[in-house]
Chains A and B, each alone.
Chain A
Amino acid sequence: MTATLLPAAADPVGTSSPSSRPRRGSGRDISLLVMVVVVALLLSVIVGLPLVRILTVAFSAEGWSIVSSMLSNPVNRGILWNTVQLGVIVSLLGTAVGFVMAYAQVRLKFRGKRILHLISLMPIVSPPFAVATAAITLFGRNGMISNGVFGQQIDIYGLKGLTFVLTLSFFPVAYMNLKGMLESLDPSLDEAAANLGANKLKIFTSVTLPMLIPGIAGSVLLLFVESIADLANPLVLGGDYTVLASRAYLAVVGEYNVAGGAAYSLVLLLPALSVFLIQRYWVSRKNVVSVTGKPAGSPELITAPALRIPMLVMAVAVASLVILMYATVVFGGFVKIFGVNNDFTLDHYRFVLAGIGSDAMFTTTLLALIATPIAGLLGMLIAWLVVRKLKRTSGLMDFVGMLGLAVPGTVIGIGYAIAFNTPTVFAGRQWFPAVAGGSAILGGAMAIVMVFVARSLPTGQRAGISALQQINPAIDEAATSLGASSLTTFRTVTLPLIRPALLAGLTYAFARSMTTLSPIVFITTPQTKIMTSQILAEVDSGRFGNAFAYCAILIVIVLSFIGLLNLAMLHPSIRGIQRR
């Protein structure tokens, strides 16, 4: 050949140029190994170990006797039945409400869509009791509406009240799910059906609905898991209607019967986990809508009154209920006893902002602020390892990461109490000191941060996975080819590219950390007060005003954080275009 080796002009990089020979000995990419090991260790500590411990206790002689009496003992059978009944009713009702809201949002023509959207998301950023407490105030025995307006003495405690409150609290999950699905539905299918002579109602029942079946099934399953896992509302509103989560709570907190708690947890864990698995690996695979890809054109908004009016009436009714609930929370914080003594007072807010409650407010916010970046980054890291780096073990890591969402909070909380209230001893050595409970280091704050991370990690992980699947892997390889290690690639290329997913992950992490209760009640300590468990205490002792003030402040904190985060992400120095 004519390889014209021109006089190689003085190599400006110098012969020290690291590219001139392969660095020997440095071998494989160590940073990848380190990342995988660190993530695996973290996951096994924050979700693996508590789960393993709860299983060992549940399968101990004492625990197993309760597990095995689940069907034979009539009381336990009743609890199991209650749990399933509540789960089924709420999941169906919540999905129906979510569907109405999503359908109105995507397909109906009306003004005020943005507001309806925000109202539909409100329950996500609020603490679990907001709706329950407001419901008691409005619709309870001495409720302002039930008694005050209609003169009825309704017993809101029990299945009725739980259904009402849980449906209002959880329908946003179905709403989000179905809204995305409706948006990605190809409008040309509607057009094709219309072309073939179908009217709007016919299109709706013969085309739209069948296409949404997998999405609807997925929502039902997710809501089922959420509602059987819920602890806060059954504690406040359950009355005699005991479910597995509240029974487990009673066992641990009231009877000091840890084995019993573990046993009920196991019974709760099985359906929750299997339904979650079905949802994730079976229903989502059947999802025809997401497969058909990009919608071609935008759907024609529906104006036909036969469909529009009933749907809109229902949507507005739901939205009004949501507004009513939160209006109650806001007002209730500023009056002595809402409905009984409506004199204006700042006592409740003083209690939370300056009094005993401020302690909990600061601690909770601080711990959530610590947990949020950890959960956000860890979620992105897991997503990246799962999508790009791991081969055979990627399914396992994905699954373990998702456990924080799939496993009911009550179960995680009891698992934490068992695993971390005493020092971790293994093979005759103490590996780390107690991190949860009264005698723990840092007053148990570490366990709370760990729980926050475990609970809020999965949402970011999911967002990260779908974001990464949109990005050409060659971009990662280009960075590698230019000399970047795995860690450097993640930091300088992957993370900036999946910034929207990170933002979503951080937002959810903070909101979820601030509002989670079920795992917290088992590990909170007098030194480390957490707002949600303080609210529970206030509601328990009937001081609804304080609870309302707590809830309102909690919502304000969450919303401010989301606002600030969005502002910060717009700032060029964080957007990371120009890394020095």
Chain B
Amino acid sequence: MTATPESAMTTQPDARIESARDSLATATPGRVTLRDLRKIYGDDKTGTPAVKDIDLDIEPGEFITLLGPSGCGKTTTLRMIAGFETPTAGTIRLDDEVINKVAPNKRPMAMVFQSYALFPHMTVFDNVAYGLKLKKLPSARVTEEVETALTSMNLGPYRDRAPHQMSGGQQQRVALARALVMRPKVLLFDEPLSNLDAKLRVQMRGEIRRLQRRLGITTIFVTHDQDEAMTMSDRIVVMNVGVIEQVDTPQEIYRHPASVFVADFIGRANFLDVDVHEVRDDGAEVGVLGKRWSVGKHPAVAAGDVVTLMVRPESVRLSATDSREVGGSVGRVLSSMFYGEAIEYDIETEAGNLVVSVADPHAHETFTQGDFLDVGFEEGRAWLMPVAADTP
């Protein structure tokens, strides 16, 4: 993490900034455990749950992301952990202690809001000092702590500015400094980057992630941006209509999704109808595109289940063929799109239309609309998984 190019946030590697960050490091990151957590807005009996009985174990020091489409209950879950919403049922534990009844201002957690929520009537310094003053720390200590936090965010020169005199990115860093100075056991983020422009957003991703590693603080991050989730997280929690679909590392989620929803939501996926020849513990033999393939499978898949084969666009392999008819392994190019770093094809096959992405087009033979091709895929990257009744 030391050799990464420095973002705009820390224009040059600065020993002062690094040592300020070290001194903010969390001594005891928190462990958060959710059990059967449920939230129904409005009437407990008649309302539909926004969050349905979820279980989740968040390890100390972990960066975990709640990811899912709009309205799936990410914010609700985060706000229950912060204490701003009262769970309808279930428990929230912090380090084995049930905190359902602990008021939000008594929880050793700090939240960074989408709108930053800086106090507009206070200077940057006073914003960051706010929580420390409430702790009745001596004022010399408050000053010292705030200076450290501001330095760690490279905000030293702005201490006497009002929030409205700063850019969105700077405000974001003030919000972060204000949270970190409290040395929370858990840091909570609700879509903190969505108000920034695209470039700054990418910079802040790296910055928050580096900072979090350096401080070793347990972090729960809510987003609906899959790139954010993939690049920042130790583990991702994929949610859909109030339930958790999968909890895993970004790599596992991408390669071995637990459901069609996850496969579709994270990255892009082709779903092929296949003939299942044999199901073993560690994989399966399937027939598709005129061949027999040995593919990986989701542990839940058993013989006789309704299944589908997921193949990512980049694991499809294309080669020229003399055949002039779609069928078996032969497909035809319906359209092609050139992106510069990759070329994308839409291919008609007997197993359905496939999206195919070929990286570095200059190093490969390119095809044009109407070309007939031999279509295959990397066996090791295909993934056989169950089709749940209610997923598309």
Residues of A at the B interface (CB closer than 8 Å) are 1-13, 17-24, 26-29, 472, 474-475, 477-485, 488, 492-493, 496-497, 575-579
Give B212 Cβ to nearest chain A Cβ, in Å.
9
Query: Which B residues lie within 8 Å of A4 (CB)?
Result: 1, 213-214, 216
> Is B101 at the interface (CB under 8 A from chain A)?
yes
- The residue that B27 contacts in the complex, of A11, A27, A481, with Cβ under 8 A, is A11
The contact of B105 among A5, A21, A484, A578, by CB within 8 Å, is A484
Choose, from B130-138, B315-323, B354-362, B367-375, the stretch at the interface.
B130-138
List of A residues within 8 angstroms of B121 by Cβ: 493, 496-497, 575-577
Complex contacts, A488 vs chain B, CB 8 Å:
134
Does residue B107 face the partner (Cβ distance < 8 Å to A)? yes
Residues of B contacting A24 with CB < 8 Å? 97, 102
> Please, which residue of chain A has its CB at the minimum distance from the CB of B23?
A9
* Residues of the A chain whose Cβ atoms lie less than 8 Å from the Cβ of B117: 472, 474-475, 477-478
A301 to chain B, nearest CB (A): 32
Please choose the segment from B3-11, B178-186, B257-265, B343-351 that sits at the chain A interface, where 4 or more of its residues have CB less than 8 A away. Answer: B178-186
Give the residues in chain A near B329, CB-CB below 8 Å. Answer: none
Q: How many residues of B are counted as interface, with CB atoms below 8 angstroms from the partner's CB atoms?
A: 65
Q: Hey, which chain A residues are within 8 Å of B28, CB to CB? A: 20
Residue in B108, B122, B216 whose beta carbon sits within 8 Å of that of A20 in the complex: B108
> Is A6's CB under 8 angstroms from B182's CB?
no
Contact A483 B182 (CB under 8 A): yes
Name the distance in Å between A222's Cβ and chain B's nearest Cβ: 33
Report Cα–Cα, A304/B183, bound state, in Å: 67
Contact B27 A480 (CB under 8 A): no
Evaluate whether A497 and B120 lie within 8 angstroms (CB atoms) in the complex, with A4-B213, A22-B99 already known. yes
- How distant is the Cα of A472 from the Cα of B114 in the complex, in angstroms? 11
Contact (Cβ within 8 A) B123 A578 = yes
Cβ-defined contact, B103 with A29, below 8 A = yes
Contact B110 A482 (CB under 8 A): yes
Chain B 318-350, CB within 8 Å of chain A: the 1/0 string? 000000000000000000000000000000000
Asked if A27 contacts B216 (CB within 8 A), the reply is: no
How long is the Cα–Cα vector from A101 to B52 in the complex, in angstroms? 58
Q: Are A12 and B145 in contact (CB under 8 A)?
A: yes
Near A by CB (< 8 A), chain B positions 14-31 give 22-23, 25-29
Are B123's CB and A19's CB within 8 A?
A: no
Beta-carbon contacts under 8 Å, B153-192 to A? 162, 175, 178-179, 182-185, 188
Residues of A within 8 A of B134 (CB): 482-484, 488
The answer to whether B377 has its CB under 8 Å from any CB of chain A is no
Q: Which residues of B contact A479 (CB under 8 A)?
A: 119, 130
| Chain B nearest Cβ from A116, distance in angstroms | 34
Judged by a CB distance under 8 angstroms, whether B141 is at the interface is yes
- Docked pose: A477 CA to B1 CA in angstroms: 33
**Cβ of A203 to closest chain B Cβ, rounded Å:** 38
In the assembled complex, the Cα of A3 lies from the Cα of B61 at a distance in Å of 6
A21 to B31, CA, bound (A): 12
Asked if B228 is at the interface of the complex by the 8 Å CB criterion, the answer is: no
Complex alpha-carbon distance, A19 and B216, angstroms: 16
B residues 28-87 with Cβ under 8 Å of A? Answer: 28-29, 59-63, 82-84
Return A384 CB to nearest CB of chain B, in Å.
15
Chain A proximity of B152: nearest CB distance (Å):
12
How far does the alpha carbon of A385 sit from the alpha carbon of B199 in the complex, in Å? 41
Q: Is B104 interfacial (CB-CB < 8 Å)?
A: yes
CB-based contact A478/B103 at 8 Å:
no
Tell me the complex Cα distance, A497–B121, Å: 7
User: B183 touching A11 by the CB < 8 A rule?
Assistant: yes
Which residues of chain A are within 8 angstroms of B27 by Cβ–Cβ distance? 8, 11
Cβ-based interface call for B115 (8 A): yes
Q: How far is the CA of A578 from the CA of B126 in the complex (A)?
A: 7
The answer, yes or no, to whether B144 is at the interface (CB within 8 Å) is yes
B residues less than 8 Å from A17 (CB atoms) = 135, 183
Structural contact, A27 and B104, CB atoms closer than 8 A: no
| Alpha-carbon distance A497/B164, docked complex (angstroms) | 14
B364 within 8 A of A: no
Say if the beta carbon of B314 comes within 8 Å of chain A.
no
CB distance from A283 to the nearest CB of B (A): 28
Given contacts A27-B102, A481-B104, A482-B130, contact A577 B61 (CB under 8 A): no
Q: Which of A9, A474, A575, A577 contacts B113, CB < 8 Å?
A: A474
Which chain B residues lie closer than 8 Å to A481 at the CB level?
Answer: 82, 104-105, 109-111, 179, 188
Cα A16 to Cα B121 with chains together (Å): 30
Residues of B within 8 A of A579 (CB): 122, 126
Docked CA distance A43–B348 (Å): 74
Residue in chain B with minimal CB distance to A19: B108
* B94 adjacent to chain A (CB < 8 Å): yes
B248 contacts chain A at the CB level, 8 A cutoff? no
- Provide 10 A-B residue pairs closer than 8 Å at the C-beta atoms, listed in order of the A residue: A1-B63, A8-B216, A23-B106, A472-B117, A478-B113, A478-B117, A479-B119, A482-B130, A482-B182, A497-B119
Within the complex, what minimum Cβ distance (angstroms) separates A416 from chain B? 39
Q: Is there an interface contact between B183 and A22, defined as CB atoms closer than 8 Å? A: no
**B234 interface residue, CB < 8 Å from A?**
yes
Closest CB-CB distance, A24 to chain B, in whole Å?
A: 8
Q: Which residue of A lies closest to B79 (CB)?
A: A477
The answer to whether A493 and B119 have CB atoms under 8 Å apart is yes
CA–CA, A437 and B84, complex, Å = 48
Known: A3-B62, A8-B27. A477 touches B113 (CB 8 A): yes
Instruction: State A376–B175 Cα separation when bound (angstroms).
Output: 32
Distance of A20 from chain B, by nearest CB (Å)? 6
The residues of B that contact A496 with a CB separation of less than 8 Å are: 121
Q: Which residue of A lies closest to B1 (CB)?
A: A4
Q: How far is the CB of A123 from chain B (nearest CB, A)?
A: 35
Q: What residue of chain A has the Cβ atom nearest to residue B137's Cβ? A: A13
Residue of B nearest to A21 (CB): B108
With contact pairs A17-B183, A22-B106, A480-B84 given, residues A475 and B25 touching in the complex (Cβ less than 8 Å): no
CB distance from B311 to the nearest CB of A (A): 29
Which single residue of chain A is at the shortest CB-CB distance from B28? A20
Contact B144 A12 (CB under 8 A): yes
| Those 7 A-B pairs whose CB atoms lie nearest each other, nearest first | A482-B131, A3-B61, A478-B117, A474-B117, A1-B234, A19-B108, A8-B27
Interface core residue of B61, B102, B162, B235 (most chain A CB under 10 Å):
B102
Chain A residues contacting B22 (CB-CB under 8 Å) are 6-7, 9
From A2, A12, A492, B141 is in contact (CB under 8 Å) with A12
User: Is B103 within 8 A of A27, CB to CB?
Assistant: yes
Nearest-Cβ distance from residue A307 to partner chain B, whole angstroms: 41
A3-B213, A21-B108, A579-B126 are known contacts; what are 9 more A-B pairs with Cβ within 8 Å? A13-B183, A19-B184, A19-B185, A23-B102, A474-B113, A477-B82, A482-B130, A497-B119, A578-B126
